[in-house]
Structure 1
Amino acid sequence: MSVQFRDSLQQGFARMAEAARPFVHLHCHSHYSLLDGASEIGTLVKKAKELGMSGLALTDHGNLHGALEFYRKAKEAGINPILGYEAYIAPGSRFEKKDAANSKEASYHLTLLAQNRTGFKNLIKLASAASLEGFYYKPRIDKQLLEAHHEGIICLSGCVSSELSLALIKGGADAEDFREAREIAAWFHRLFGDRYFIEIMNNGVEVQRLQLEAAVDLARRMGLPLVATSDAHYVNRDDAVAQDVLLCINTGKFRTDTNRMRMENDSFYLRSPEEMYAHFPGLEDAVARSHEIASSVSIDLELGKRHFPVFQLPPEKTAEDYLRELCIQGLKERYAGDEEMLPGGELAPVVRERLERELSVINKLGFPNYFLIVWDFVRHARERGVPATARGSGVGALVCYALYLSHVCPIRYDLLFERFLDLNRKEAPDIDIDFCKDRRGEIIRYVKDKYGEENVAQIGTFGTLAAKAAITDVGRVLGWPIARVNQLKALVPEQLGISLDEALESGEELKKLYETDAEAREV
């Protein structure tokens, strides 16, 4: 039997099994659960597909950073993307930020899933407010925010660190504490209605067993539906060690430390449907309900469409005409007294031809309004004496030089406009503007006030551990002497951003050490 045929047969059996005993993971963490989750999104999606699942949820800790990457890759794989996140919810108001000794006291956990596009928009509002208004140890929402933005959201009661689970674990069968748990569940049920589910887990951990028993009892008493999830932090069981090392990096601990944060076992991986049913005997309905919930989710995101704010033009002028006018005015100021570029007070043919060519591309791609907006806030910065300049490929545009976005003449330095903008590329031009760090807040406030808070977003970038950085951090976690770590790092080829796989492929000495030294191989 060929390997290809065998794999196809196995995948076929997996799909048949999924159809007979359906299950979809609704509680999964990717590497966007920073230094906690160890699942690369593409690998996570591929594994769910191999297991025959029709859908998959992404529920990273306190953020939606991976949502769009996950959405695209899940769609490409032909499985239903369920966009969610494991929210941190404040015990009281998100604005109360005192007296908590640690993050566990400052917030509970709650699993939120978007059922449709409206729900995803509300998740974005919740996650944004959590970071901007509720950050205290963790980005936190509160019940007030949930009341305002619950439409289109499915709520699972959460893991053992949720408000409900903690009340159940604390109280067990105690009447008073059980009443507290009932009140918590009743509040969420009133808000979410039939979109509220009691979440149960079984990763072989004692505290989960205690929560599960009490949660099943509560759900039956209150007539609330149960749903089984698995707190997946990595894709395969043998990824547990890598995930544990990530936790050590995150918390600044050694792997040998006894008193540190760690997962209790190696069961927090993406289980198959068969494994899930085996771990919830007598609760098969709760396992199957995950598939019912997933089937109720339909998220269709409008990607690729631009929603630029509109620059207010002077009366009886078009964006194209006004941009041209500003460019000619700016170039005459820039080249004042330069007879080569401005002979007789008029733009030289080389300047005019370059300007016309750039404006033609900008107009055909529909970006005059965009350039006017950037010109507007840079003009505001100049008027207020805030230093500002473009960097990157935008410096190659004469239009940017004319608008005072950049301060280098691209004609004199033979810089290419096509590196910045080209008819064959439909992406919006990336005009990076640096402002004085002490006063850039003034410019951000100007843009928000003029173009609307809803049209302005601040973004972040994610750093990954390249080969040498990974060796440094992992070597420290494993307790290696610095000299030994440096010796291993010295064998990594000098190549910007090189990965460990690439380093092993191209570095003969490193590869030899990897094959002969067990400690080096562990790193």
Structure 2
Amino acid sequence: MRPFVHLHVHTQYSLFDGLCKIPDMVSRAKELDMPAVAITDHGNMYGVIYLYREAKAQGIKPIIGCEVYMTRGSRFEKKTKERLCHLVLLAKNNQGYHNLIKIVSKGFVDGENNYHKPRVDFDLLEQYHEGLIATTACIEGQVPQDILNHNEQGARRSLERLVSIFGKEDFYLEVQNHGIPEEKTVRTVFKRWSQELGLKLVATNDYHYIDQADAPAQEIKLCISTGSTLDDPSHFRFYNNEFYMKSGDEMADLFSDMPEALDTTLEIADKCNVDISFDDRHLPQFPVPDGETDSSYLRKLCEQALSEKYDPIT
């Protein structure tokens, strides 16, 4: 089996369109002789701990990530309508894991728009990029979208900004091949840019279900998510049934012209080493005035509030 690691993965916690159950996904990764398994759900980290525990239990490395929604402006800007772009972030270490939590959390708290999606902006990436790896994501990524909109100059500007944040060693040009024509356009440009700019290519399959036979079930989930039915000829569906957990050999066939993009997945997997302890308590630290302890200050605040709230009946 050709060595390979999937780095663009949507579990059932990608609530809109993901179908993969984590235990089954980890088991399948082991069957395919993959050394690691990742999680990169849309905009959230709901399944991260489940993935981490399950992967450890089955003796495979967990890779923690998220496919965040990027706004082209500020996350604080209120917009009635915008097309959000995707960006894949992977945690290299515990600092990266904590920074990813902050990015995703602030995306919800600061950036949720009228369509109830968390939005991340460049300011957040610049503030919390340490310990993170980034890839350009699928054709919904900002750089691929600019390419497909015939704005290669704009794509280069976005790319340069991302590289300046993450550095060449931790930023990758993501290539996909689900048989979608637009993906071929992006692959052609990225292959040229890889040579020109010294950036590495990484192959992904962006799977939303484990087996190819699961595609009809995922289509039903999409109908549920959009309030539609299979009988509606215009109901939302994926381009085809290629968004499943492919083997290394299948990926090698798809990327026979760029085998180095498969090798990069192993490089990235080797970089990612998050270690989560479940035995320690991580309570927040609150500063107290000089001369006070946590207990004495808490007592003082309670007594003060009690006197303010208590209104005895006379």
Secondary structure at the counterpart of residue 244 of structure 2: coil
- Aligned partner of residue 140 in structure 1, secondary structure: coil
Aligned pairs for 1:285-300 (under 5 A) are 285-300=260-275
How many angstroms does 1:204 deviate by?
1.6
> Once structures 1 and 2 are overlaid, which stretch shifts more, 134-143 or 209-218?
209-218
Query: Which residue number corresponds to residue 279 of structure 2?
Result: 304
Distance in 1 (CA, whole Å) between partners of 2:307 and 2:174 is 55
Matched, 1:61 2:42: yes
Matched, 1:47 2:21: no
Q: Which runs of 5+ in 1 are unaligned?
A: 1-16, 172-176, 323-371, 386-523
Separation in structure 1 between the aligned mates of residue 201 and residue 306 of structure 2, nearest angstrom = 56
- CA deviations 1:259-283 (Å, max 9, x no partner) are 2321111111110000000111211
The residue aligned with 1:158 is 137
Whole-Å separation in 2 of the counterparts to 1:251 and 1:47: 29
1:86 to 67, 72, 85: 67
Aligned residue among 270, 291, 316 for 2:245? 270
Identity of matched residues, %: 39
* Distance of 2:83 and 2:279 partners within structure 1: 38
Local SS of the residue matching 1:126: helix
Contact 1:29 1:61 in 2 (8 A): yes
Q: Could you list the per-position Cα deviations for residues 351-405 of structure 1 after superposition, in whole angstroms to 9, with x for gaps in the alignment? A: xxxxxxxxxxxxxxxxxxxxx89xx88x9599658xxxxxxxxxxxxxxxxxxxx
TM-score, length-scaled by structure 1:
0.55
Aligned equivalent of 2:254, options 252, 259, 279: 279
1:183 paired to 2:157:
yes
The one-character-per-residue Cα deviations of 1:238-267 (angstroms, maximum 9, x if unpaired) are: 111111111111110111222232111111
- Residue type matched to 1:39 in 2? C
Selected match of 1:117 from 70, 94, 102:
94
Quote the RMSD (CA, aligned, Å): 2.6
Find the partner of 1:147 among 101, 112, 126.
126
* CA distance in 1: counterparts of 2:178 and 2:34, whole angstroms: 20
User: Is the CA contact (8 Å cut-off) linking 1:23 and 1:290 kept in structure 2?
Assistant: yes
Contact persistence 1:74–1:80 (CA under 8 A)? yes
Structure number with the higher helix fraction is 1
With a CA cutoff of 8 Å and minimum separation of 6, indicate the structure with the bigger relative contact order.
Answer: 2
Q: CA distance change for structure 1 residues 41 and 381 in 2, over 3 Å: closer, same or farther?
A: farther
Q: Deviations over 1:322-348 (max 9, x none)?
A: 9xxxxxxxxxxxxxxxxxxxxxxxxxx
- Classify 1:135/1:48 alpha carbon distance in 2 versus 1 (closer, same or farther; 3 Å): same
Point out the structure with max Rg over C-alpha.
1
Which secondary structure state, in structure 2, belongs to the residue aligned with residue 61 of structure 1?
A: coil
Post-superposition shift, 1:106?
3.9
**Cα distance in 2, alignment partners of residues 318 and 135 from structure 1:** 35
> Which structure 2 residues correspond to residues 207-218 of structure 1 after superposition, within 5 A?
207-218=182-193
TM-score normalised per structure 2: 0.90
How far apart, in 2, do the equivalents of 1:196 and 1:318 lie? 44
Shift of 1:190: 1.4
User: Aligned pair 1:170/2:144, yes or no?
Assistant: no
Secondary structure, aligned partner of 2:264: helix
How many positions carry a matched residue from both structures? 304
SS of residue paired to 1:144: helix
1:210 positional shift: 2.1
Say which SS state the counterpart of residue 26 (structure 2) adopts. helix
Residues 203-255 of structure 1 deviation map (CA, whole Å, 9 limit, x = unaligned): 12222222222222222222211100011101111111111111111110111
Distance 2:309 2:155 in 1: 57
Contiguous gaps of at least 5 residues in structure 2 = none
